[in-house]
Structure 1
Amino acid sequence: MNTNAKERSKIRDIALAEEGRLKIEWASAHMPVLNRIKERFVIEQPFKGLKVAISLHLEAKTAYLAKVIQAGGAKVTISGSNPLSTQDDICAALVTDGITVFAKYNPDPLEYKQLLIDTIETEPDLIIDDGGDLVSILHTERRDLLGKVRGGAEETTTGIWRLKAMEKEGRLEFPMLAVNDAFCKYLFDNRYGTGQSVWDGINRTTNLVAAGKVVVVAGYGWCGKGVAMRAKGLGAKVVVTETDSIKAVEAYMDGFEVMPMQQAAQIGDIFVTVTGNKDVICGKHYFLMKDGAILTNAGHFDVEVNVKDLEDLAVSHRTVRKNIDEYTFIDGRSVYLLAEGRLVNLAAGDGHPAEIMDMTFALQAMSLKYVNEHYQSLGSKVVNVPFELDEQVALYKLDSLGIEIDRLTTEQQTYLASWAEH
């Protein structure tokens, strides 16, 4: 065990390390793309002598990413990006591997914030963020550490929105790669990862059937597409709510009913919010819902389902099953909130499958390497992931599956690049 990491870290229980280690080994055995990158990093040492701070949902796949970056020569510190998605056994296992961990499952809000601040105070050179909290703290409470940061990579839609708002106001002071906007992130992680893991979380938590029920999916971005697709596959009747007219047409063309939430609230059995915005479901909707309606959120922050409105309207509140809170109204109707309105796939499940996070975290690792190599020329802005990194991850994935694809001949390349004669 690395004594220094143990002394620096703030975790729940180091005795859980063996259980966490087994989880990480299982995940890594199903992450061939990241394994290949690790082999490269061990030889190349792209982060030698650098400090890397990570804030992600702290479970087994994330832990393996941290170990891959550590294998590339970095001194790694990690914290959780959501208080209910942190797994204490994973934290303990990472500490025994020499990684400093500032994370616990379900800390109170003040302690959770302090754990993020502790992570920043390690004075990182590079950052991997999920939701933008590390970057936000650096630009507000710990501006004295800004000058050391070369840049980083952002994992999720909400974080990129925050970063772009900072850039627009001229507040962003180092480059951040928008990993969420890369092809190998949103096409697979957002769609297939979210689609499966949301229903893993709902099914495991409720032990109820989805077939025949009306499932209302709020938001038809890539995550919403995945959730709706999997709900349909489980036999549910799917309704989509949207504020984007183009996405609404797309949902309609995909065979789903489209209507406003005010209308959908009256017929839904299970609600899943996937928008990144606040008050998607709130007081005016609770008045309309059927007795027994189930409310879940798959957006990054716990603001999409308005919990305060629930608490204000309810005459009683109790926990009826792990991760299920029942709110009963004065007319006798009850609705059920899963995982306190936090990310249901992580707060009430294990997150995306390992094979999906394999591609996402491969992109994270390669993006961090790219930032470190080019930060002086990238500027203080949100930067798209270079296509060659996306393509490399896809090729590694195909290779791991034993799949070969065609290659363009020189003549074909010339033909596609010409315009004069066809």
Structure 2
Amino acid sequence: MTDLSSTELSARGAARVEWIRSRMPLLARTREDFGSSRPFAGHLIGMSLHVEPKTAVLLETLAAGGAEIVATGNHGSTQDDIVAYLRDLGMTVHGRRDDSLEQHHENVAAVAAARPDILLDNGADLAALAAGAGEDWRIIGGTEETTSGGLRLRSQLEGRIPFPVIVINDSLLKAIGENRHAVGQSVVESFMRITNLMVPGRRFVVAGYGWCGSGVAHYLRALGGKVAVAEIDELKAFEAAMDGYRVAPLEDLAEWGEVFITATGHPGVLTEPFFERVADGAVLANCGHFPWEIDVPALRAYSTGATVLDEAIERIDLPGGRHVILLADGRMFNLAGREPKGNSLESMDLGFLLQSLSLERVATAPESLLPGAQPVPDVLDREIARRMLAAMAAHR
């Protein structure tokens, strides 16, 4: 936690949000629309999502529509100045940057305890708590931001969610604009910012060739990286091969790669058999939502020692004199380290417009949606595409 007072933190947060807000024209228009229509009047929106400046602009937009807000961030990505700023706006925001995982779970539980009737979820953490609450908690619907959360809703929570949840990451618009291009850009930027290592000529292995993985591979290669892809889905592996990447199983790439980046949304991608073969000095990083793609507990159990080298850099010693470098403790590393930026402003303007209009649909026409996880309605995708194209044309 920073030593600044809450007043100083809030002022710093306000200044940062002002810059972000000025570069998010799609949300600016929506904020005006919501100010007139007030679609969230009488509703309490519960949020579990990264608390950073772009999210603050989203919350301002929802508040303009009459929403009350109770919120928390994700583990390790909360920015304290933004928390202070949002609290000064009258929102209830739990958590801070240095919270432990246990404290983070308590923060999510505190949001759930407020019994919001609309959820803005990231990883289906709130939905999971709602599934166990029964009739004690009435929810009219919500949204889920991530692929990982969508998978969770459609697997372990399948049939247990009696309200509609629009999965923002099912949107083709978001997949193209945010996942492929914005995540791809932010992952490469964050790798350089956190490690200060050079991309050109370095050997990278990207695990997963979905929208995020393909974007990461694209931007690494664009900057001169040598990129291989590990993908268990035959069709995606074929696509990666046709895009010109070396494609092979992780075990065959363990000794070749210098940097391994997981982007699958699934647990247990890098596990002990991989750690037994990985090259000395390799960097391990994850850009998926949950910190489970790199099996960090197994890595620590296999290790002979560990040394924290910087805020998001840890050396893990392995048997036989080898070592690996773990970034951000296996958490989403493009929101880690000093001055994390995350995805680009334009992509989040688009993504949060999807959130805003999807939440508006939940608040005003829940009967038009089915219970459980579902994609963004096509009519919203196409309307937002038109708005984004118009905004892009205005800057040419």
- d(CA) in 2 for partners of 1:60, 1:309: 35
For the 8 Å contact 1:152–1:176, the answer to whether it is kept is yes
Q: In the alignment, which of 11, 14, 32 is matched to residue 6 of structure 2?
A: 14
Whether the 8 Å CA contact 2:265–2:289 is kept in 1: the answer is yes
Which of 362, 376, 393 is equivalent to 2:367?
A: 376
Cα deviation code 1:306-333 (max 9, x no counterpart): 1122212222210112210001123221
Residue type of the partner of 1:256?
Y
TM-score when normalising by structure 1: 0.89
Distance 2:277 2:106 in 1: 40
Q: Report whether the alignment pairs 1:304 with 2:293.
A: yes
Out of 4, 12, 17, the position equivalent to 1:24 is 17
Is residue 151 of structure 1 aligned with residue 145 of structure 2? no
Alignment of 1:205-354 (within 5 A): 205-348=194-337, 349-354=340-345
* SS of corresponding position for 2:72: strand
State the distance in 1 between where 2:95 and 2:310 align: 25
Give the residue type in structure 1 aligned to 2:286.
Answer: N
Kindly provide the amino acid, as one letter, of the partner of residue 84 in structure 1: G
User: Which amino acid is the alignment partner of residue 234 of structure 1?
Assistant: L
Residue aligned with 2:270, SS: coil
Q: What residue in structure 2 maps to residue 106 of structure 1?
A: 98
User: Which one has the largest radius of gyration?
Assistant: 1
Q: Which runs of 5+ in 1 are unaligned?
A: 1-11, 405-422
Report whether the alignment pairs 1:85 with 2:77: yes
- Secondary structure of 1:351 counterpart: coil
**Matches of 2:257 and 2:190, distance apart in 1:** 18
1:158-214 CA-partner distances (Å, limit 9, x unpaired) = 11111122564x211100011111122111111011101111211111001011011
What's 1:418 paired with?
none
Contact 2:128 2:157 in 1 (8 A): no
Aligned residues: 389
Q: 1:357 and 1:89, CA in 2 relative to 1: closer, same or farther beyond 3 A?
A: same
In 2, distance between residues paired with 1:311 and 1:135? 31
Q: Distance in 2 between matches of 1:246 and 1:225?
A: 13
Q: CA deviation at 1:347?
A: 2.3
Q: What pairs up with 1:116-155 in 2 under 5 angstroms?
A: 116-140=108-132, 142-146=133-137, 148-155=138-145
Instruction: Report the residue type matching 1:136 in the other structure.
Output: A
2:353 partner letter? A
Paired AA for residue 400 in structure 1? A
Quick one: structure 1 residues 343 and 167, their matched pair in 2 at CA, closer, same or farther if it must change by over 3 Å?
A: closer
Structure 2 equivalent of residue 40 of structure 1:
33
Q: What is the rounded CA distance, in whole Å, between the counterparts of 2:352 and 2:330 in structure 1? A: 26
Superposed counterparts of 1:161-180, under 5 Å? 161-165=151-155, 168=158, 170-180=159-169
1:266-288 deviations in whole A, cap 9, x for unaligned?
10001100011112111111222
Structure 2 counterpart of 1:413: none
Deviation per CA, 1:9-55: give whole Å up to 9, x if none: xxx96231111111111111111111111110011111111111111
Separation of aligned partners in 1, 2:174 and 2:136: 30
Q: Could you say what secondary structure the match of 1:305 adopts? A: coil
Matched letter for residue 19 of structure 2: W
CA RMSD of aligned residues (A): 1.5
What amino acid maps onto 1:24 in structure 2?
Answer: V
- Deviation (angstroms), 1:377: 4.1
Distance 1:403 1:25 in 2: 21
State the distance in 2 between where 1:65 and 1:195 align.
22
CA distance in 2, matches of 1:92, 1:122: 20
Deviation at 1:403, TM superposition (A): 5.5
Mean CA deviation greater in 105-114 or 87-96: 105-114
Q: Residues of 2 paired with 1:256 and 1:330: CA distance? A: 32
- Paired residues of 2:131 and 2:157 also in contact (CA < 8 A): no
Greater CA drift, 62-71 or 100-109: 100-109
Secondary structure at the counterpart of residue 257 of structure 2: coil
Please give the TM-score of this superposition, normalised by the length of structure 2. Answer: 0.95
- 5+ long unaligned stretches in structure 2: none
In the alignment, does 2:50 pair up with 1:50?
no
